[in-house]
Amino acid sequence: MEYPEKQFESDDPFEFVAVRYPVSSERNHDFQMARCFIEEYALMGWPGSQIRTLFETPLYAGPHAIFQKWGSKVVDELIREIFSAEEVADGTGA
């Protein structure tokens, strides 16, 4: 059975709806989220250089949005900070 194809129209009931969820302005939530991205992968043994590619690649929408908004310098600084401790094996650092 074939169904007729109908395009969405502006008065369809599926309208865009959104509300703002209030969050504290005292901290930068983009930076906090970037740390989460980096630390999640770092704790699985990913090297910093590999994690950086997540931010560079548009296919990873979340990290890439941060990369675009704040630039590579900020991302590199965060990665460097998380990997700043002494490394004892190859391939785990930035």
Partner 1 sequence: MAQVHNWQLGRDMRYRFEPGKPERQFAAVFNINRCIACQTCTMACKSTWTHSPGQELMWWNNVETKPYGGYPDHWDVKTLALLDEANPGGQVWDGDPVENVRAPYGRFDGQTVFEAADGLTQEAVGYLPEEREWKAPNRFEDHATKFPAAGVSLPEHDGWFFYLARICNHCTYPACLAACPRNAIYKRPKDGIVLVDQERCRGYRKCVEACPYKKTMYRPTTRTTEKCIGCYPRVEGEDPLTQGLPMEPRCMAACVGKIRMHGLVNVEADGTWTNDPTHPLYYLVHEEQVALPLYPQFGTQPNIYYIPPRWVPRDYLRQMFGPGVDQAIERYTRPSRTLLALLQLFRASQRIIYSFDVEEGPKVGELVVGGEVIEMFNDTAVGFDESGGEIVRVDVEEPIFERPGKLNSI
Residues that bind partner 1 (CB under 8 A): 7-10, 12, 14-25, 29, 32-33, 36, 39-40, 42-46, 50, 62, 81-89, 92-93
What is the C-alpha separation between 19 and 78, in angstroms, rounded?
30
Cβ of residue 80: shortest distance to partner 1, in angstroms? 10
Rounded CA-CA distance 42/79 in Å is 9
The residue among 2 and 18 lying less far from partner 1, judged by its C-beta, is 18
Task: Find out whether 38 and 79 touch, Cβ atoms under 8 Å.
Answer: yes
For the CB of residue 42, give the shortest distance to partner 1 in the complex, in Å. 5
